[in-house]
Amino acid sequence: MSAPRLAGVYAMADLADDWPENRQTCVDVLCGYLRRPYVRDPGQEAPEPERGAFRAIREIRHTVIQVITAHLKDGAAVSWQGLDFDFTGVVFDGGDFGGARFSGGPVSFRGARLSGGQVGFADAVFSGGWVGFADAEFVGATVSFDGARFSGGQVDFARVRRWSHPPMFSQDGKPPVGVVLPVQSFKETRSQLKRG
């Protein structure tokens, strides 16, 4: 079941690379796959076919993230920098955007749920454009912006719905210029973590 879908992910990426005038449409299809209803881990007690199906779907979702990230890195054979990425409502149970360059087009994590594993933006570059996390929930996932660089544009956390694990920044834990945080919520969360 997962092999044809994985092949479809790579075929869509190849089509985007070869079809510049419809590259955004192909990226929209890949983001759309991530927006499909999330299948939760059935747990260790579930029958193996159910566990196997969950692992296959998770592998496809993480592959989509890897493919997108690879095209957002400097030096990509074909760059998708400057395109729009709509991760509205996506559940992230891990994923690595490390080294990606977000520049130009908007990137929406509106209503996304970062709910498990590690979601990394290590060494990512935010230069121009807008990345928004309105109504997103940071619950259970460790989200790291370690080594990320911010120069122009804006990364907006101002209307995050919930932070059980606020994002981590490498600059002494303080958000850099260009990062907008909910003042009260962020301070309350940090003080709760220090007490706990």
Q: What is the pLDDT of residues 74-114, one digit of tens each?
A: 999 999 999 999 999 999 999 999 999 998 889 999 999 99
Encoded tokens for 47: 């029958």
- In this prediction the pTM is 0.88
Cα torsion 121, 161, 112, 180: sign: negative
Q: Which of 1-5, 21-25, 32-36 has the lowest mean pLDDT?
A: 1-5
DSSP-based three-state secondary structure for 96: strand
Q: Using an 8 Å Cβ cutoff, are 186 and 163 in contact?
A: yes
**DSSP-assigned letters across all residues of 18-77:** H-GGGHHHHHHHHHHHHHSPPPPP--TTS-HHHHHHHHHHHHHHHHHHHHHHHHHSTT-S
- At residue 172 the predicted structure's pLDDT band, cuts being 50, 70 and 90, is low
- Mean pLDDT on 13-33: 98
